[in-house]
Amino acid sequence: MTTSTLAPAASVGTASASVELDGVVKSYGSHRALDGIRLALHPGEFVALLGPSGCGKTTALRALAGLESIDEGRIDIDGRDVQNLPTNRRDIGMVFQSYSLFPHLTVLENVEFGLRMRKVQRAERRARALEALALVGLEERGGRYAHELSGGQQQRVALARALVTRPRVLLLDEPLSALDAKVRVSLREQIRRIQTELGITTLFVTHDQEEALAVADRVAVMNAGRIEQIGTPEELYRTPATAFVADFVGLSSGLPGELAGSTVSLYGTTLPVLPGETLSDGAVRVAVRPEDVRFASAPDGIPATVVSSSFLGSLRRTVVRLDDGVLLSVQHGVDEAPVAGDAVSVAFRGSPVRVGPVR
Closer CB to another protein, 49 or 158, in the complex: 158
The Cα–Cα gap between 221 and 91 comes to 26
As measured in angstroms, the least distance from the Cβ of 173 to another protein is: 10
Kindly determine how many residues on this chain lie close enough to bind another protein according to the rule CB under 8 A.
Answer: 31
* In contact, 186 and 107? CB cutoff 8 Å: no
97-116 positions binding another protein, by CB under 8 A:
98-104, 113-114
* In contact, 297 and 306? CB cutoff 8 Å: no
Closer CB to another protein, 104 or 182, in the complex: 104
The Cα–Cα gap between 212 and 221 comes to 10
* In contact, 352 and 273? CB cutoff 8 Å: yes
Candidates 11, 88, 150, 262; binder of another protein (CB under 8 A) is 88
Candidates 25, 96, 269, 331; binder of another protein (CB under 8 A) is 96
Bridge-based pairing of strands 302-311 and 253-260 is unpaired
| Nearest alpha carbon to residue 111 among 87, 147, 148, 136 | 136
* In contact, 246 and 287? CB cutoff 8 Å: yes
Q: Is 117 in the site for another protein (CB under 8 A)?
A: yes
* In contact, 111 and 161? CB cutoff 8 Å: yes
Closer CB to another protein, 34 or 101, in the complex: 101
As measured in angstroms, the least distance from the Cβ of 105 to another protein is: 8
Q: Is 310 in the site for another protein (CB under 8 A)?
A: no
Q: In this chain, which stretch among 60-68, 76-84, 237-245, 253-261 interacts with another protein, using CB under 8 A?
A: 60-68
Q: How many CB atoms sit inside 10 A of residue 117's CB?
A: 10
Closer CB to another protein, 93 or 290, in the complex: 93
Q: Is 94 in the site for another protein (CB under 8 A)?
A: yes
Q: Is 15 in the site for another protein (CB under 8 A)?
A: no
Say how far residue 75 (Cα) sits from the centre of its chain: 21
Closer CB to another protein, 174 or 292, in the complex: 174
> In the Cβ-directed half-sphere of 25, how many Cα atoms lie within 13 Å?
11
Q: Is 121 in the site for another protein (CB under 8 A)?
A: no
* Contacts (Cβ under 8 Å, ≥6 apart) of 140: 1
Q: Which amino acid is at 72?
A: E
Q: Is 92 in the site for another protein (CB under 8 A)?
A: yes
Closer CB to another protein, 171 or 302, in the complex: 171
Distances (CA, A) of 62 to 19, 141, 164, 189, 356: 14, 30, 20, 24, 32
Closer CB to another protein, 103 or 341, in the complex: 103
As measured in angstroms, the least distance from the Cβ of 191 to another protein is: 17
137-176 positions binding another protein, by CB under 8 A:
144-145, 147-148, 158, 161-162, 165, 171
As measured in angstroms, the least distance from the Cβ of 54 to another protein is: 19
Contacts to another protein by CB under 8 A:
65-67, 86-89, 92-94, 96, 98-104, 113-114, 117-118, 144-145, 147-148, 158, 161-162, 165, 171
